């Protein structure tokens, strides 16, 4: 007997309602995720520049509108061919100086992106670079084939005219240089210069006592000599800070109330060089939290936990009554555990900081 053909063979099988809902949700999720990632890609493709005016009490008139281009945390990434996106953000505005608050090289040690950044910095504005915690050491205590105490990356940036900020730096304005502004690395406010000088003087004395030095020992000798001389220079410069000089603290890691409460009591109100005399703090380090959500801020910061207070991570705030700017940075930091390779809803950022005596 012939088998009868199934009359329902071409009839569409019914899909379970729950499965249909799940498939629809999956499609919408995939489309939404794709759109979000595309938006994030476009967002990261543009460097944003913000301008902020900081009121400094008793600011000398010659320093009125003194402007600082604050950059941080490049971490070896590029911003378009020849850093074109960064150059476009900086624009044609004038800047009195440029301050980079660390991790401009990053853990990979590739200095070329930083050299490209230096090439597009505003003409005539001195550039100051504070090494960060993910940058390679800026002093080289092993043989490298040169007579410089600087590591190769540090030597490269100084050849382009940048100043590695490991000591106070004085900028003057006005007639007879009477208006004075200092850029001072944060650690110098609490550094024991006598101890630093003693340690490296002992090393230098020991190495100078050898009849012949290996290449590594010669490198150590150069670094020791540099540190002894650096301690002398720092001591002399700190003595030169006068009452009424503007002190800008340059730090890689943002300063906190707990830190200030611990450090400031070690100085008296009469001390001229003291964190309590600072007019402004510039910092970076956190890269704005790396991943951010609208209305919530940073998702997670290793040192601060989940959903930290945004004032501790990026932007403007006050610490011990001193205005502090924490740069959101340019690149992604490697210390974020799961998303070290890119930023999310967190565009690269540079800031134009303008000093003024006016109240806003």
The set of residues, in sequence order, having a beta carbon less than 8 Å from that of 173 and lying 6+ positions away, is 60, 62, 63, 66, 179, 180, 181
CB 277 within 8 A of CB 192: no
Residue pair 74/106 in contact (Cβ under 8 Å)? The answer is yes
| Dist CA 52 CA 323 (whole Å) | 11
Q: Domain spanning 45-356 has what CATH number? A: 3.60.21
Backbone angles phi, psi at 145, to 5 degrees: 85, 5
* Per-residue tens of pLDDT for the chain, all 360 residues: 555 555 555 555 555 678 777 776 676 666 666 776 676 677 678 899 999 999 998 899 999 999 999 999 999 999 888 899 999 999 888 899 999 999 999 998 999 999 999 999 999 999 999 999 999 999 999 988 788 999 999 999 999 999 999 999 999 999 888 999 999 999 999 999 999 999 999 999 999 988 889 999 999 999 999 999 999 999 999 999 999 999 999 999 999 999 999 888 887 777 889 999 999 999 999 999 999 998 889 999 988 999 999 999 999 999 999 999 999 999 999 888 776 678 998 999 999 999 999 876
- The answer to whether residues 257 and 190 touch, using CB atoms and an 8 Å cutoff, is no
Q: Which two tokens stand for residue 301?
A: 């910061």
Half-sphere exposure of 277 (CA within 13 A, CB side): 20
pLDDT for 270 equals: 76
The whole-angstrom separation of Cα 309 and Cα 321 is 18
* Dihedrals phi, psi of 282, to nearest 5 degrees: -115, 130
Angle, vertex CA 43, rays to CA 38 and CA 47, nearest 5: 150
H-type alpha helices, the chain: 17-44, 84-90, 112-119, 152-159, 193-208, 215-240, 257-263
Q: Are the beta carbons of 83 and 119 closer than 8 angstroms? A: yes
- The DSSP call for residue 167 is S
- Produce one character per residue of 324-343: b if its CB has 16 or more CB atoms within 10 Å, e if not: bbbbbbbbbbebbeeeeebb
- Nearest of 163, 154, 71, 158 to residue 109 by alpha carbon: 154
Helix 152-159 crosses helix 112-119 at what angle (to 10 degrees)? Answer: 10
Q: 322: which strand partners?
A: 319
The answer to whether the beta carbons of residues 250 and 183 sit under 8 Å apart is yes
Question: For residue 322, what are its two tokens?
Answer: 């001193």
By the 8 A CB rule, do 157 and 166 touch?
A: no
Note the pLDDT of residue 14: 59
Residue 134 in contact with residue 75, Cβ under 8 Å? yes
Tokens linked to 272: 């001229």
Q: What are phi and psi of 169, to 5 degrees?
A: -130, 130
Name which of 274, 296, 306 is nearest 345 in CA terms.
296
pLDDT value at position 44? 77
Where do the domains of the chain lie? Answer: 45-356
Output the pLDDT for position 305.
Answer: 93
Tell me the two tokens of residue 135: 């940058």
Q: Is the distance from CB of 338 to CB of 299 less than 8 angstroms?
A: no
């Amino acid at each position: 007997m012939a088998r009868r053909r199934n009359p329902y063979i071409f009839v569409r099988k019914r899909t379970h309602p729950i499965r249909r809902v799940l498939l629809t949700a999956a499609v919408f999720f995939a489309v939404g995720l794709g759109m979000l990632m595309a938006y994030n890609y476009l967002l990261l493709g543009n460097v944003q520049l913000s301008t902020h005016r900081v009121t400094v009490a008793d600011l000398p008139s010659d320093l009125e509108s003194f402007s600082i281009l604050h950059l941080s945390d490049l971490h070896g990434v590029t911003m378009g061919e020849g850093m074109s996106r960064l150059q476009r953000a900086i624009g044609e505005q004038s800047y009195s100086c440029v301050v980079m608050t660390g991790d401009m090289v990053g853990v990979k040690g590739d200095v070329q992106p930083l050299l490209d950044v230096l090439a597009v910095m505003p003409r005539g504005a001195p550039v100051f670079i504070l090494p960060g915690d993910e940058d390679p050491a800026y002093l080289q205590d092993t043989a490298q084939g040169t007579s410089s105490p600087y590591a190769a990356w540090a030597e490269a940036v100084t050849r382009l005219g940048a100043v590695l900020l490991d000591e106070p730096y004085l900028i003057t304005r006005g007639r007879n240089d009477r208006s004075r502004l200092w850029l001072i690395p944060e650690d110098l406010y609490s550094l024991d210069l006598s101890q630093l000088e003693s340690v490296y003087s002992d090393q230098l004395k020991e190495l100078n006592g050898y009849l012949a030095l290996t290449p590594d020992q010669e490198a150590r000798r150069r670094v020791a000599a540099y540190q002894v001389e650096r301690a002398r220079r720092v001591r002399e410069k700190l003595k030169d800070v006068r009452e009424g000089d503007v002190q800008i603290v340059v730090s890689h890691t943002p300063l906190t109330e707990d830190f200030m409460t611990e450090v400031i009591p070690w100085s008296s109100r009469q001390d001229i060089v003291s964190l309590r005399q600072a007019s402004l703090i510039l910092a970076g380090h956190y890269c704005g939290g790396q991943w951010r959500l609208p209305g919530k801020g940073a998702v997670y910061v290793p040192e601060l936990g989940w959903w930290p207070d945004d004032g501790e991570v990026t932007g403007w705030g006050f610490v011990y009554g001193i205005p502090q700017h924490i740069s959101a940075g340019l690149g992604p930091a490697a210390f974020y555990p799961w998303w070290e390779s890119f930023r999310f809803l967190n565009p690269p950022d540079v800031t134009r900081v303008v000093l003024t005596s006016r109240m806003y």
